[in-house]
Amino acid sequence: MLINEGFKIEYGRGITRNLFNAFQGSLVITLPEIWDALETSFSEKPEQILFVETLEIDELEKLSEDNRNISTIFGLGGGRVADVAKFLHWKNRATLFQIPTIVSVDAFFTHEIAIRDNGVVKYIGDAIPELIYVDYDIIQKAPVKLNRSGLGDILSCHTGLFDWQLADRQGEKPEWNEQLAIRTRKVLNDVTANAAEIQKVSEKGIKMMTEALNWIGNQCYVQKHPRFEEGSEHHFVYNLEYVTGKHFIHGQAVCLGCFIMSLLQENEPEKVLRAVRETGIYITPESLGVSWDEIRDTFLTLNAFVRKEKLPYTILYEKDMTENFLKKIKMALAKSY
């Protein structure tokens, strides 16, 4: 098993059922569609519910003013809910309990809060939940596609580590840390060895992913950088969003980025593709809701994109994304799906 470091997590079935009764003056932060789907999972209606609308900083500041007197906050949902709950907790020093409804992103396990400033992502603050409740009853109600996609932010360690080592050879900071790399690979291997469990969204699969995301989130905080878990595969996704103006299931898009970049890095692409397929994640453009033309535009502008955005040093500073390389990707995906 993994070494458990990071936030405190409680696992079980029905562990959140009576939770809202236990706290007076609490506020549940969620989304209307999540509350509609889960209302009957709780024995009592919470005193106050707040539906998340935006992550824009001005609106969040107003929200925290309006909720000055709240002493306990529950975040019930996915990434956006997690960040709003973290923000109100941090601003108002309220006790925070997180109840993820999917295991698809790392937002529950990171200290920093992702807000938007005029649409641009910014990371601020420091949030530490009292406890994260991983209630299998709740998580297994979510679409399997969302839960499986949690693999993305774990698999990104494979390409992220490679990019970080390249950067280190160029003399870039932060300095390569072999011990951290060994531990990261161990976490990644434990997860991919259990791909079938994640595919089934079994209790074991949910726990494996949660523990890995919690470990990664904690290491980002301890090491003060995310280079061991984020590199060119994420930069591909940022450019895909920029070029298409579309939003994606983050982990699914990152899995496509991982495969493409592992091939560009000549870094065991077949191993990456196998892990993605065994987890039941589809990474063809159709399954992401984009055309091959949009993928092509993303490819051909990616080298310029990372330079323009001054993104950290990766394989994309050493190798160009060409038409020929696109053909290679097309062939590999056609063979596998």
Q: At closest approach, how far in Å is the CB of 171 from Zn ion?
A: 27
How far apart, in Å, do the first and last CA atoms of the chain sit? 32
Among 153, 197, 229, 233, which residue interacts with Zn ion (rule: CB under 5 A)?
A: 153
Indicate the residue among 86 and 91 with the shorter CB distance to Zn ion: 86
Is the four-CA dihedral 245, 249, 252, 257 of positive or negative sign? positive
Is 211 one of the binding residues for Zn ion (CB under 5 A)?
Answer: no
Count residues contacting Zn ion (CB under 5 A)?
1
- Taking the complex as a whole, the smallest distance from the CB of residue 203 to Zn ion amounts, in Å, to 24
- The closest alpha carbon to 279, from 188, 218, 183, 172, belongs to 188
Q: Backbone phi, then psi, for 146, in 5-degree steps?
A: -70, -45
Residue nearest to Zn ion (CB): 153
**Lookup: tokens for 76:** 């019930």
What is the rounded CA–CA span in Å between residue 197 and residue 135? Answer: 17
- Within a 10 A sphere around the Cβ of 151, how many other Cβ atoms? 32
Q: Which residues contact 177 (CB under 8 A, 6 or more apart)?
A: 223, 228
Torsions phi, psi for 253 (to 5 deg): -65, -40
Instruction: State which residue, 139 or 216, has the beta carbon closest to Zn ion.
Output: 216
Q: Which stretch binds Zn ion (CB under 5 A): 16-24, 122-130, 131-139, 150-158?
A: 150-158
**85 vs 129: CA distance, rounded Å:** 10
Nearer to Zn ion, 26 or 159 (CB): 159
Minimum separation from the CB atom of position 254 to Zn ion (A): 5
Least Å distance between CB 154 and Zn ion?
Answer: 10
Q: Which range of residues in 59-67, 148-156, 206-214, 274-282 is near Zn ion by CB under 5 A?
A: 148-156
Shortest distance, position 216 Cβ to Zn ion, whole Å: 10
Task: Give residues in contact with Zn ion (CB under 5 A).
Answer: 153
